[in-house]
Amino acid sequence: MSSDSRASGLEVGPATAARPVHTAALELVLGLFLCVGVAMDSVLAPRPEQLIHAAWFGVTAQDLVFPLFVVLSGVGLAFAHRGGLGWATTVRRSAVLLACGLVFNAVAAGTLDPETLRWTGELQVWAVLVVTVGLLHKVARGPRAWVAITGLAALLQGAFLLLWQSGCPDGAFTPGCNPSRVVDPALFGRAHVYIGGALGHDPEGVVALLGALVTVSAGVAAGHLVLTLTGSPGDSHGDGRRHGRRVPAYLLGWAATVTVAAVAAGQWMPAMKRLWTTPLGLGAAAFGVALLAVGLVVLHLRVPSRLDQLREALAWPFVAMGRNALLVYFGSQLLMLVLLTRRDEHQHPLANVMGDWVEGFALGHNRTGLVAVMLGLWLLVAAVLRSRRIYLRV
């Protein structure tokens, strides 16, 4: 999610001479997150338990990947809207995301059959969030407003889930008793939701979208907090006090507040990604905001000139990834999907074939060797795009 609001779609042009520290920090954190995400997705079976989505209750490392993308991208949306992101651009981007999500699902299914094509997905969730945040920016343009939106969204979602949970056997969600099992098939048709509705829920359906709204709102609040405290040049909403070096402390305070809310919500319902419950939405948001604070500390830290140059050189490839976060995030998933679902003449997944080929070059076992290849590939793609000043803005 790019924080440069001047672009709409694919931008080719000169780079900004001096980017604000908060923008660079967001790109750095996004880039590091994407490296971890690409590495996790590239591990071949048998995958460790933490790299597999929790079957129902509980949260694994894999469950946090998309929520972290949402909260960090929410920060970017705040930067974009305070920079003057237009409504027409917002709608156009959302439409493109929806179309790309359907293409992604068609590739996953191996067919364009409209009778069975899945309508929901991560790209679709993000598309709806982009429009929703845009609409809310018509009335909410500062950190206090977005803190209130985060709290209200969490309370409404939590109340809705608690009410539904109270009607389930033993007062707990099950695949046979949860709102997604009823709401999502009713809206889209059972054939058009996650695995045809066979598992009794849709992790990227409308019910999960409620939790995603909580997460993105916390990210947007963090973004507005940063801009207000720094009083960024040209930002009429900033207070002009230039509290740049205090921003990490304020962000950590917001992360701590959200964490307390997540723990409180967890007393009444489980944290789980399958329904994107309130504790998961708030907990992931707090983690993402804390990561942004760390990124700001790293870039604000005063060091000698030579170390500053080294820091800039080390950060360069990760910032390149962060500037094309959407492309790398969904592009890497699409590539691995193709490699895992397409087979050679011996019916071996192409991912395993590639892993064996990599192992032959002494790059390690095929499970870890493929990780190195995928990371290298996407770092190279991001570096080339950055060197040519080409960014996919959504």
Mean pLDDT of 103-120: 89
Least confident range from 1-15, 75-89, 92-106, 325-339: namely 1-15
Whether pTM exceeds 0.85: yes
Tokens of 325: 């976060």
Cα separation values, 14 from 7, 23, 232, Å: 12, 17, 21
Q: What is the 3-state secondary structure (H, E, C) of the chain?
A: CCCCCCCCEEEECCCCCCCCHHHHHHHHHHHHHHHHHHHHHCCCCCCCHHHCCCCCCECCCHHHHHHHHHHHHHHHHHHHHHCCCCHHHHHHHHHHHHHHHHHHHHHHHCCCCCCCCCCCCHHHHHHHHHHHHHHHCCCCCCHHHHHHHHHHHHHHHHHHHHHHHHCCHHHCCECCECHHHHHHHHHHCHHHCHHHHCCCCCCCCHHHHHHHHHHHHHHHHHHHHHHHHHCCCCCCCCCCCCCHHHHHHHHHHHHHHHHHHHHHHCCCCCCECCCCCHHHHHHHHHHHHHHHHHHHHHHHCCCCHHHHHHHHHHHHHHHHHHHCHHHHHHHHHHHHHHHHHCECCCCCEHHHHHHHHHHCCCCCCHHHHHHHHHHHHHHHHHHHHHHCCEEEEC
Q: Encode pLDDT of 211-265 as tens digits.
A: 999 999 999 999 999 999 987 544 444 443 455 678 999 999 999 999 999 999 9
Other CB atoms closer than 10 Å to residue 337's CB: what's the count?
A: 15
Q: What is the pLDDT of residue 393?
A: 64
Q: Encode pLDDT of 345-365 as tens digits.
A: 778 888 888 877 776 555 555
Q: Encode pLDDT of 201-217 as tens digits.
A: 999 999 999 999 999 99
